[in-house]
Amino acid sequence: MLTDLIKAFIIGGAICTVGQLLIDYTKLTPARILTGFVVAGVILSAAGIYGPLADFAGAGASVPLTGFGHLLAEGIRKAVDSDGFIGIFTGGLTAASGGVTAALLFGLAAALIFRQKDNS
């Protein structure tokens, strides 16, 4: 178990380090860097590289945005295998629906808990 934590920490930290270096040494906006991470996850997944990395690192590779790109690509691949052409449009949404729903619900809960009162 400890080795799993160490692997996740090292791989996740390496991914975050790349993002920080891009912020520090390029003129890319954070939004472009985040989008680039998602696209990189899709490309690495399509090349067959990200799957083994995610299996090795666990949450260290699945939690960053590259993991979201991998999730979308795998969802599309599976949906195309089972549903054909229409899977291109439905697979990514189906695969990511649980995470997107959780993010929306937790965001709503945080907004309700930490909302500011209007003093006027």
Q: At residue 120, does pLDDT exceed 70?
A: no
State the burial class of residue 36 (Cβ atoms within 10 Å of its Cβ: 0-12, 13-18, 19+): middle
| Mean pLDDT value across residues 20-43 | 93
Number of compact structural domains in the chain: 1
Q: Which of 76, 82, 106 is nearest to 94 (CA)?
A: 76
Average the pLDDT over 38-59 and give the result: 92
What pLDDT digit, counting tens, does each position of 77-115 carry? Answer: 999 999 888 888 889 888 889 888 999 999 999 999 998
| pLDDT given at position 29 | 92
**Res. 119: pLDDT tops 70:** no
Q: Residue 119: inside a domain, yes or no?
A: no
Contact 88, 80 (CB under 8 A): yes
Mean pLDDT computed over 22-26: 94
Does any domain span residue 118? no
User: How many whole angstroms separate alpha carbon 33 and alpha carbon 51?
Assistant: 21
Q: How far apart are CA 8 and CA 15, in angstroms?
A: 11
Please indicate, yes or no, if residue 60 is contained in any of the structural domains.
yes
The single residue listed with the structure tokens 């934590």 is: 5
Domain annotation covers residue 94: yes
Residue 87: which domain range? 2-113
| Residue 120 located in a structural domain | no
Residue 41: inside a domain, yes or no? yes
